[in-house]
Amino acid sequence: MVEDQLLCNESAGLHGQTVTSYALNVFVVTLSLLIVCGNVLVIISVIYFKQLHTPTNFLILSLAVTDLLVGALVLPFSAILSMRSCGFSSYLLCKMRGLFDVLLCASSILNLCCISIDRYYAVCHPLTYSSKMNVHVTLAMILVSWTLSALLAISITGRGITHGNLNRRCGIFIATKESSPGPIFEFYIPAIIILTIYLKILMVAKRQARRIQNTIKSRTALSKMEKKASITLTVVLGVFLMCWTPFFLSIGLYSMGKFTIPHVAIEAFKWLGWSNSVLNPLVYAFFYKWFRRAFQMIISGKIFQADFSSTKL
């Protein structure tokens, strides 16, 4: 999933200092800054404010750390390597970039999967939620997510370094038969899990809303609850699928060899997938008023004026 190494040519090192490359640099810097700033706000909020020290927010913290590293490491290295000339040092950097790419993107998606599981127990089993989804369980889920991501990254990028690879240019994606199992474990299985869980949550939320209607005879309350649940789950699923489905679908078709898909199109889909890291803070944090209050206090510098860690948000 990480890199398709194209053959180099002698002018490759001089290529790239064009209007297109400068536009790419501006885009990468802007996207990286947005990812870093958005996720730094989430990280500081969860660590600083005691009210946010909950199992759910620890999962959001893990997701924010993952997305932060995507913006700080993967995107800048991808832009630099796409314009560097070939050589042994470039090949090593390409491998390192590929390793972090798979590790962090897989971890981001698996963290989303863990958050969906947490929301499932919160909505569908509220009476047993606190016992089933405690801090220890949450930390175990985070550890499993990072471990599986690391194993997947090593299995895909852990190939031997040979001199034959030095005449190839570092690209953004890899699409071979050897790498085909990667997207299955990295995207398709987590996507199916997330989709199934959120559909279940939506069904339970509607049933709960109908019970409220039968109890208090309030169609207004029913309408508001169903609308809020529908909008929230639609945004969660929509953003996730919109960002990652085009890339993994195009990679699958490309690997089959039955469809001709331009490399530039697949690379564009890859950048769209990376942009999910800047949207996650909006989806999983800005939906909650206590995060919005925390962000306001951080941006205004209020937390540096006194100890507000115990403030009720």
Q: Residue 147's pLDDT is what?
A: 95
Highest mean pLDDT among 59-73, 163-177, 192-206, 236-250: 59-73
Indicate the range of 1-5, 23-27, 304-308 predicted with least confidence: 1-5
Number of Cβ within 10 Å of residue 139's Cβ equals: 14
CB 244 within 8 A of CB 109: yes
pLDDT band at 150 (very low <50, low <70, confident <90, very high): very high
Report the interhelical angle of 135-157 vs 88-124 (nearest 10°).
150
Indicate the range of 7-11, 38-42, 230-234, 256-260 predicted with least confidence: 7-11
Return all residues near 76 (Cβ < 8 A) that are at least 6 apart. Answer: 28, 32
Phi, psi of 235 (to 5 degrees): -65, -45
Q: Would you say residue 215 has pLDDT above 70?
A: no
Decide which of 109 and 210 is more confident.
109
The two beta strands, 168-169 and 6-7, are antiparallel
User: Rounded to an integer, what is the distance from CA 233 to the centroid of its chain?
Assistant: 17
pLDDT band at 191 (very low <50, low <70, confident <90, very high): confident
Percent above pLDDT 90 for the chain = 19
What does the pLDDT look like over 101-145, one tens digit per residue?
A: 889 988 988 998 898 898 888 888 888 888 889 999 999 999 999
Superfamily (CATH) of domain 6-304:
Rhodopsin 7-helix transmembrane proteins (1.20.1070.10)
Residue from 276, 200, 193, 208 nearest 242 by CA: 276
Decide which of 206 and 243 is more confident.
243
Q: Residue 155's pLDDT is what?
A: 85
Residue from 95, 43, 92 nearest 69 by CA: 43
Read off the pLDDT of each residue in 189-209 and give the average, rounded to a whole number: 83
Q: Residue 136's pLDDT is what?
A: 93
Mean pLDDT over the full length of the chain = 78
Return all residues near 3 (Cβ < 8 A) that are at least 6 apart. Answer: 94, 97, 98, 101, 170, 171, 172, 173, 174
What does the pLDDT look like over 14-41, one tens digit per residue?
A: 444 566 667 777 888 889 999 999 999 9
What does the pLDDT look like over 44-96, one tens digit per residue?
A: 999 999 999 999 899 999 999 999 999 998 888 887 776 655 544 567 777 88
Q: Would you say residue 12 has pLDDT above 60?
A: no
Report the interhelical angle of 189-216 vs 88-124 (nearest 10°).
20
Indicate the range of 91-100, 223-232, 275-284, 300-309 predicted with least confidence: 223-232
pLDDT band at 281 (very low <50, low <70, confident <90, very high): confident
Q: Residue 173's pLDDT is what?
A: 58
pLDDT band at 220 (very low <50, low <70, confident <90, very high): low
pLDDT band at 5 (very low <50, low <70, confident <90, very high): very low
Domain boundaries, the chain: 6-304
Number of Cβ within 10 Å of residue 39's Cβ equals: 27
